[in-house]
Structure 1
Amino acid sequence: MKPGISAEDLYRLKFVSDPQVSPDGEKVAYTVKRINKDKNYESHLYICTLSSGATVQWTRGSHNDTSPRWSPDGKLLSFVSDRSGKNQIWLISAEGGEAEQLTSSEGGASSPVWSPDGKSLLAAITVKKKTDGENRLRPLEVTELQYKADGRGMLKDEYSQLFLIDRETRNETQLTSGPNDHFGAEWSPDGDKIAFSKSRTNEDTVSYASDLVIQQLGGEEKIVSHGTGAFTDPVWSADGEYLAYFGQTFEHGSATLGNLHAVHLDSGVTVCLTKNFDEHAGDAVIGDMHYGHPAPKAAWSKDRKGLYFIATLNGNSSLHYATLEGEVSQITKQDCHLYGCAVDSENDYAIFAASSPVIPGDLFYASLSNSAEEVRLTDVNSEVLSEIDLSHPEEFRFTNDEGNSVQSWLLKPPRFEEVKKYPLVLEIHGGPHGMYGNTFFHELQMLAASGYVVLYSNPRGSYGYGQQFVKGCMGDYGGGDYRDLMAAVDYVLAHYDFVDMEQLVVTGGSYGGFMTNWIIGRTSRFKAAVTQRSISNWLSFYGVSDIGFYFTKWEIGYHLFEDPEKLWQHSPLRLSNRMDTPLLILHGEEDYRCPIEQAEQLFIALKQQDKKVKFVRFPKADHNLSRNGDPGLRVARLQFIVSWFDQQLEELENKGGAILENAAADRV
């Protein structure tokens, strides 16, 4: 009998991403990432010949090789590698051989983009402000709202600038400047201009606001996006007439759906291709294996009358097509998480990277004109998956108190027996505007393998079900979203008699951590809880989070100085005197998104009231510990969760047994 998946199996799993089709349409380059137990993460380049299916590993070693990009003639691949100690751009022949280092920038280089003639590349290079005593400890002078960022730490006058790299001479020419990050660059078809996104990091705005800019190479810049928002991933039509891009204007704050736009460059007229789509243009599926994969840009059709793009809806992300007139259709039909894609419109196919609940991530072929033609190209985890038993989720839906259908899933233990009773763990996603879906989620599989039935659901506030649904929790944290989650639990207890209603536990991270805190402050039906990287106090979150100064108003409705009582009413810390559920608090020391003081406040409040609580602090870990953190800490975190649930339920069972024995003795 095969075992279920374990925490340590993280070290054995592989993940495929970033497919790139060669100019002749005959090959696809891609990356395969794995977790090296001793040396953190590593990834390598692979090339698959589509006609034969033959796959060759192109790079090796204990380093990270990412972002493969074909030269226009198909003879070279550029890629990003840390093999020299810092991320730089390298070149390697498409026929094989040794790689050559192209850049040697002090700040590192990334995001290579070939010029149409193949003689140069664009690269994003981090430029630091020169100071005296560079290596000496010095004060950080803060004058802006945005002075820190999760995963980056304190922002010290370092910005990503675009450089032109001559392939032959290796000369580097800086094309952009100023206190802004520049990213997502794309050449015009004639090679005379570039389009890119330019952040607004030094303005009184949100941390990811950006403009879309066209620059005459090395010359004048022109903003082509309209209004304040996030405008990214420009892509030119082959005739240079249009520039398409993703964008949103924060109309509904962080709950605003992403849209696909196209601007006619001569007239300046911009159209939103997904205006009537009412779903998110982009990938919003949540998982713990896919963090950091590059989001693919939209791709123009062969006739230049529309674009292919990824969209999120109903538990899936899929390839869609939008015409310039705003008609949207779905191309791929699998129930899956499609997170990477390369479109070859000339040859009528796409290569996409996708995951399902039992596939961590592989490549697939899809015809653009025949939706029935989808073929799997890789199976990178065949060996490890042949040795373990994974669970297949069962989907169900229920109608909430507003008449909306709430999509949910139940994951049973691998060796499930209908006659047994099982404990149930309610998992709550972060965001809150993310979406659980048909993707591989190691943590959920591991909990099921540990003997738990796992319930995960998309309450109001989740992407995938239209604009009204995704903004449904704003200003109402702990209201309708709480009722949706409790309704999901009630539905399971009413329809599945193998769940033990006396053995319910709950966990979640970020917003899911907030909701875990809120739940145990509102009900005692859960016998154990684990809160991860959570929010407990909106009053202090406003000033300590790297996004608190705008996210608080977006989500709760007010700034601290506008209505502090409203913030306090939505703070789980206020309910600490009602929290009788044994609670494990997990938090990263360097989390700037939900800073660790949120956990500290909750721990002290509970401990002083003699509640059952334990606090685990993860060193050098930021908000994304569960997705890209230190491998050893990731495994330890999973072990803490399972052991806490097991311990609390065992103590409850022993206590119940002792009560029965005492009652029997009293009767005698």
Structure 2
Amino acid sequence: MAVAEKTQVEDIFKIRSVTAPKIGAFGITALVTRLDEEKNDYFTHLYKMDEDRERQLTYNEERLSNIRHSADGRWLLFITKVDDKNQVFLLETSGGERMQLTHEKEGVSHAEFSKGGGRVFYQSLHSLKEGEAGDTADEDKKPEPVVIDRMKYKADGIGLMKEKYANIKSISIDSKTVETLLEGEENHTLLETFDDGFIYATDRSEDRDFNFSERLFIRRGREDTEIPTQKGGVLQVEVSPDGRRLLIVEMGREYENATHATLHLYNLKSGDKLHVTAGLDRPVGDHLVADTQQSVETDIAKWISNERFLFLVSDHGSVNLYEGNIEGEIKPVLEGRHHIHGMDVGPDFAALTIADHTSPGELYRYDYATGTLEQLSRINADYTEKTLIIEPEDIVYNSFDGTEVHGWFMPPVGFTPDGAHPMIVNIHGGPHAFYGHSYFHEMQVLAAAGYAVLFVNPRGSHSYSQSFVDAVRGDYGGGDYKDILAGVDFITSRYKWIDADNIGVTGGSYGGFMTNWIVGHTNRFKAAVTQRSISNWISFRGVSDIGYYFTDWQIRAEFNDIDKMWHHSPIRYVDAVETPLLILHSEQDLRCPIEQGEQLYIALKYRKKPVQFVRFPEADHNLSRTGKPNLRIDRLKRIVNWFNEHMD
């Protein structure tokens, strides 16, 4: 029997991402994404999952999204790029070439078949002002200034944005006739089709700069009927097969962006609305962070019949499957140490894409009657069978104030209980996300490099109670910092083979903030790597694409509360930093702009502290997950090398 190989940084080119399952009369389909080393890009292909084989349906080097099956099984609908703009395509299931359905100047972001099947409703953009930021300029055109008169004028991964708004259109499949149904100085979000109408949300507001809520409507003909929702956003709407009820997934604003997403049942005839998950105290949906899943499209809730439905819940490090009914009763039906990151339903079974600590993900069939789970795909089987993958141990410990904290611990590859092994603490971003029971390539690389790995969910993390998620707001660097250090204490006291004087720390985004905070408040760590981090809340509020409201919500410091922002800024504590620090930052990061890394680097270098700064061109905030493959490889190698150089 061949000896399994240790995980390598370059394994991202071997791993495939299986996502976006869909069930229709045609069968079960899913998307499979791979990273191409030569082209330095990502390519997604559509597969049909037959009972005994996986059949590839598309072969172009492209990214696909928004897969939909027509009710009669004749068509598959998807979105992909043409001339750098996303457009809707149809593929006949009986065979033949794809057909481009839309030709929108600004592209298409979402599309759905009408219930009757003869039309496609879709969401596109229209620009109110020509010549703004984002216009494609010819080579001879001279540079022009950009006039900004709104606060939401840029976005990470996009850059400076035109003043443009999402509209909703429909197109006849036969005649190709296009009709604009909704447009204006507001964003219309297409959520669901209904008879020959549709359901949409709008962010219409007299104060767009400070509006973070949507209103929900049904459009029948030319008549709009509002559906009452709480203040906040609408994540998903699903109409029951008989058209009598809606499942509505909402994210309120009681705790701003720390608020649990919730599931509601709405009776269209009576107007009664039932909060289905009121007693659950867990967020519905998938809020887990991982680094190998691509082209993820997750339906949070789906009808099985007119009386029953399924929905996903983030629960204590897992994403589990729940069932509910129109009486408001709910129960878990598929729980475990797993990450369900895709779901679709049929009358007898659900199609699920599931990952866990030792599998990057495969497609499964969940049978309602028997409660059994059958694996349908083996896309990653060759990789997982030939690679030495470490399954982490679940840990639970009490923090400084008795709060229970959950996390995971991985021993290094080849460890011996009588040795003295170094350890890396890895901190997630968000902070309202969570580590969990999913495959995480970066953790496996660190373990293969000889490091034990500790990753925990400090207060502020999702998949726990609402009070736990909210506890970090206004207290960055307080209880959350102590939760992480308590985890280090717990695991080093449990396993004496961990070298307590030889521990490193790393993290990105919020995890980068926390890494910066840690090295300014303790010399306990031998080396540190901070990624896409926040160092100065005062400047962050003015330069980040979300800074002006995120700082209010998370630090709970208004514009003139300089003292509080400075108190929570890691750069304030640079005089105390002795830990060798590697600063990794993307040049096109607009979420945590690179000036945050620049400030920290100059402050530390000015004081002759041990620091190095690495800038990644053509990369944004999501470098570690969706960045150029060569830069992802370089980033992870630098992390490992920094720890190798500065730890024993």
Correspondent of 1:278 among 278, 281, 302: 281
Q: Which amino acid aligns with 1:215?
A: R
Distance 1:255 1:497, change over 3 A: same
Q: CA deviation at 1:132?
A: 5.7
Q: Which amino acid aligns with 2:6?
A: G
Unpaired runs of at least 5, structure 1: 654-668
Give 3-state SS (helix, strand or coil) of 1:600's partner: helix
Partner of 1:262: 265
2:24 aligned with 1:22: yes
The answer to whether the 8 Å contact 1:535/1:599 transfers is: yes
CA distance in 2, matches of 1:248, 1:67: 22
Q: Which amino acid aligns with 1:356?
A: D
The answer to whether the 8 Å contact 1:159/1:180 transfers is: yes
CA distance in 1, matches of 2:145, 2:295: 32
CA root-mean-square deviation: 1.9
Q: CA deviation at 1:84?
A: 5.8
Q: Which amino acid aligns with 2:593?
A: P
Give 3-state SS (helix, strand or coil) of 2:334's partner: coil
Give 3-state SS (helix, strand or coil) of 1:594's partner: coil
Alignment of 1:62-81 (within 5 A): 62-81=61-80
The answer to whether the 8 Å contact 1:424/1:455 transfers is: yes
Partner of 2:169: 163
Distance 1:256 1:94, change over 3 A: same
Q: Which amino acid aligns with 1:406?
A: V
The answer to whether the 8 Å contact 1:235/1:244 transfers is: yes
Give 3-state SS (helix, strand or coil) of 1:508's partner: strand
Partner of 2:368: 368
CA distance in 1, matches of 2:166, 2:419: 57
Correspondent of 1:248 among 243, 246, 251: 251
CA distance in 1, matches of 2:646, 2:359: 32
CA distance in 1, matches of 2:118, 2:395: 55
2:314 aligned with 1:312: yes
CA shift digits 1:495-554 (9 cap, x unpaired): 112211121000000110010001111110101000001111111111111111111121
CA shift digits 1:350-402 (9 cap, x unpaired): 1101111111111111122433x011111111222333211111111111233
The answer to whether the 8 Å contact 2:125/2:165 transfers is: yes
Partner of 1:351: 351
Partner of 1:611: 609
Alignment of 1:39-50 (within 5 A): 39=39, 40-49=41-50
Correspondent of 1:177 among 172, 183, 196: 183
Partner of 2:580: 582
The answer to whether the 8 Å contact 1:475/1:557 transfers is: yes
Residues 355-364 or 90-99, more deviating: 90-99
Q: CA deviation at 1:306?
A: 4.2
TM-score by length of 1: 0.92
The answer to whether the 8 Å contact 1:277/1:328 transfers is: no
Alignment of 1:187-226 (within 5 A): 187-188=193-194, 190-191=195-196, 193-199=197-203, 203-204=207-208, 209-217=213-221, 219-226=222-229
Q: Which amino acid aligns with 1:102?
A: L
Identity of aligned residues (%): 37
Distance 1:548 1:225, change over 3 A: farther
CA shift digits 1:150-183 (9 cap, x unpaired): 1121121223322201101222222121233333
2:419 aligned with 1:420: yes
CA distance in 1, matches of 2:226, 2:592: 33
CA shift digits 1:614-634 (9 cap, x unpaired): 111111211111111111111
Q: CA deviation at 1:603?
A: 0.6
Partner of 1:446: 445
Residues 2-11 or 80-89, more deviating: 80-89
Aligned pairs, number: 638
Q: CA deviation at 1:87?
A: 2.1
CA distance in 1, matches of 2:129, 2:177: 21
CA distance in 2, matches of 1:174, 1:202: 23
Alignment of 1:602-641 (within 5 A): 602-641=600-639
Unpaired runs of at least 5, structure 2: none
Give 3-state SS (helix, strand or coil) of 2:299's partner: coil
The answer to whether the 8 Å contact 1:18/1:293 transfers is: yes
Alignment of 1:636-655 (within 5 A): 636-649=634-647, 653=648
Correspondent of 1:236 among 233, 239, 242: 239
Q: Which amino acid aligns with 2:401?
A: E
CA shift digits 1:174-219 (9 cap, x unpaired): 212123333343111x22x2102323588356676332222224x2
The answer to whether the 8 Å contact 1:246/1:261 transfers is: yes
CA shift digits 1:91-138 (9 cap, x unpaired): 112123322222222222242211122111112223233526963533
The answer to whether the 8 Å contact 1:185/1:197 transfers is: yes
Q: CA deviation at 1:301?
A: 3.4
Q: Which amino acid aligns with 2:290?
A: G
Partner of 2:531: 532
TM-score by length of 2: 0.95
Distance 1:85 1:511, change over 3 A: closer
Q: CA deviation at 1:613?
A: 0.5
Partner of 2:81: 82
Q: Which amino acid aligns with 2:202?
A: K
The answer to whether the 8 Å contact 1:621/1:630 transfers is: yes
Partner of 1:126: 125
